[in-house]
Amino acid sequence: MRIVIIGGGPGGYEAALVAAEHGADVTLISREGLGGNSVLWDCVPSKALIVSAEAMGWMQSAKRLGVRLEGGHDLATRTEIDMNAVMDRVQGLAFNQSADISKKVGRTGVEIIEAEARLLDPQTVEVEHRGGRSYRVSADIVLIATGSNPRTLPGCEPDGDRVFTSRELYDLRELPERLIVIGSGATGAEYAHAFARFGSEVHLISSRDQILPSEDPDAAAVIEDSFERWGMVIHRRKRAADIERGADGVRVETTEGEWVEGTHALFCIGQIPASGGLGLAAAGVHVTDRDAIPVDGVSRTNVPTVYAAGDVTGSMMLASTAAMQGRNAMWHALGQAVTPFRDDAVAKCIFTEPEVATVGMTAEDIAQSQVPVRTVSLPIARNPRAKMRELSEGFIKLHAMAGSGLVLGGAVVSAQASDLIAPVSVAVHNRLSVQQLAYAFTVYPSISGSLQEAARQLMDRA
């Protein structure tokens, strides 16, 4: 079978690996290095940046842990950030990861082409190289995995000097003295957290009463408290309307007429599916008025030979989601057994400090549910391992169905929450009970022990 994949992000390259493993003839066309937004501009670089920010946080706690410089000097007072070195490391990691993915995919026999591509019909792709050379490729199946682009406001476009989105941010070589972050969702919160730890004066503009509006309200409250204790100013119930740039800084005007002044501004107001210029209309592929390509549980579009995966579908814009959609598309196209994609089983994490990881049913879902649900929430501060590490913020929360004890979801707000959510994710995906989760062994002392304890308590309540 001949498969052509347009887009080299997680949805594209994971699909290519699966298709090649099943003997398909695969061509992957990407306008940039493999990895897409996730590896080159978003997930990998942003999380690498946050690791440097966490190191600054470690310096703050070193004295309490008995670690200090020779002569008794406090590490926190002698530490500063080298933004140039941080960005060099971040960009190096991103490009190295992209190169590693290219080698891995290439070893499977996939043909990788760096070019633009568009559909001429449901089974014909036109490839256009930068030099102007173009040709056509026939395909039995086409997968669209072109990702998304940062959303901007008219008149507030990034210039790479004072105004940024995540695309331009990594060219920044000096620490912003006063950074305005517009948008308080996951991306805005992560960058605000990082630069506050680096030492910037951060102003976070949030359109809601509480930051992280899509997350567990208790988790959002923990992060808000952490932000404000680090000196961040949160401008609640405000939206950016305009921006003025000067030689020494910027001013952001909100819809309420307030002006927020800073040296730099970073827009984190969402992503727009990158579906333009792909010839989708010529192929008869339906696109929503928000530029998304709707798909079913196995990543099919309305055209039988065209599949789509990742951000371009407008669903959860996560690397893990894109990868699973891409794999599902290939398994289904190649006649393999496949489990339809389940939104309720997607684990996600916000890499603030503490991290916020969730899976399954949310507090909002529970409030609207007709099913009786029991919840247990345990503070991280009571966990013995957390005490050793001086972790005082956060909690572990589990939701289970009353009667059966079926695990419906959970939230972990803690250091390494991105790893700690895994057992809950397995339980939700496999429809395990709290009894099964409670009977599993955990290491003592470990923060995961609190997951087991929460499950044990739910055995009685559920």
CA 272 to chain centre: 15
- Work out the average pLDDT over 416-431: 97
Give the start-end residues of each E strand in 210-314: 233-235, 240-245, 250-254, 259-262, 264-267, 271-273, 306-308
Cβ–Cβ under 8 Å, residues 3 and 26: yes
Q: Confirm or deny that 148 is annotated as ligand binding.
A: yes
Residue 21 among known ligand-binding residues: no
345-391 tens-digit pLDDT = 999 999 999 999 999 999 889 889 888 999 999 999 999 999 999 89
SS (H, E, C) 95-151: HHHHHHHHHHHHHCCCEEEECEEEEEECCEEEEECCCCCEEEEECCEEEECCCEEEC
Q: How confident is the model at residue 72 (pLDDT cuts 50, 70, 90)?
A: confident
Whether 375 has a binding-site annotation, put simply, is no
Tens digits of residue pLDDT in 155-212 = 899 999 999 999 999 989 999 999 999 999 999 999 999 999 999 999 999 999 999 9
Instruction: Please give the structure tokens belonging to residue 13.
Output: 């390259």
Confidence bin at 135 (pLDDT 50/70/90): very high
pLDDT value for 3: 98
User: Using 50, 70 and 90 to split pLDDT, how confident is the model at 462?
Assistant: low
pLDDT given at position 62: 79
Instruction: Quickly tell me which residue has 């682009």 as its tokens.
Output: 149
Residue 395 has pLDDT above 80, yes or no: yes
Query: pLDDT tens digits for 299-350?
Result: 999 999 999 999 999 999 999 999 999 999 999 999 999 999 999 999 999 9
Question: Which is higher by pLDDT, 405 or 72?
Answer: 405
Q: Is the pLDDT reported for residue 39 higher than 80?
A: yes
CA dihedral 242, 247, 248, 253 (to 10 degrees): -10
- Mean of the pLDDT values across residues 15-37? 96
β-pair type (2-6, 25-30): parallel
Q: How far apart are CA 349 and CA 424, in angstroms?
A: 13
**CATH topology classification for 163-269:** FAD/NAD(P)-binding domain (3.50.50)
CA distance 105 to 171: 28
Is the pLDDT assigned to residue 57 strictly greater than 90? no
Q: Which CATH superfamily is domain 345-461 in?
A: FAD/NAD-linked reductase, C-terminal dimerisation domain (3.30.390.30)
Determine how β-strand 264-267 pairs with β-strand 178-182.
Answer: parallel
Q: Is 115 annotated as a binding residue?
A: no
Distance in angstroms (rounded) separating the CA atoms of residues 165 and 43: 14
444 pLDDT above the threshold of 90: yes
Confidence at 65, pLDDT banded by 50, 70, 90 = confident
Every domain of the chain and the residues it spans = 2-43+87-149+272-341, 163-269, 345-461
**392 marked as binding residue:** no
Bridge partners (DSSP) of residue 181 are: 204, 266
- 405 known member of a binding site: no
339 annotated ligand binder: no
User: CA 273, 185, 232: angle at the middle one, nearest 5?
Assistant: 140
Q: Which residues contact 202 (CB under 8 A, 6 or more apart)?
A: 179, 181, 192, 195, 196, 231, 232, 233
183 known member of a binding site: yes
Instruction: Give the pLDDT score at 45.
Output: 94
Among 380, 376, 410, which residue's Cα sits nearest to residue 395?
380
Q: Point out which residues pair with 113 in neighbouring strands.
A: 29
Task: Report the topology of domain 2-43+87-149+272-341.
Answer: FAD/NAD(P)-binding domain (3.50.50)
User: Does position 63 have pLDDT exceeding 90, yes or no?
Assistant: no
Domains 163-269 and 345-461 share a fold: no
Q: What is the pTM of this model?
A: 0.94
Q: Is 348 labeled as ligand-binding? A: no
Share of the chain above pLDDT 90, in %: 87
Q: Tell me the mean pLDDT in the region 405-425.
A: 97
Q: Is 82 annotated as a binding residue?
A: no
Mean pLDDT of 394-421: 96
- Residue 34: strand, helix, or coil: coil
The lowest-confidence range among 43-47, 301-305, 457-461 is 457-461
Q: How far is CA 365 from the centre of its chain?
A: 21
Asked whether residue 147 is marked as a ligand-binding residue, the answer is: yes
HEC secondary structure over 200-214: CEEEEECCCCCCCCC
HSE-up (13 A, CA, CB side) for residue 407? 32
Span 91-123, pLDDT tens digits: 999 999 999 999 999 999 999 999 999 999 999
Residue 80's pLDDT band (cuts 50, 70, 90)? confident
184 is in an annotated binding site: yes
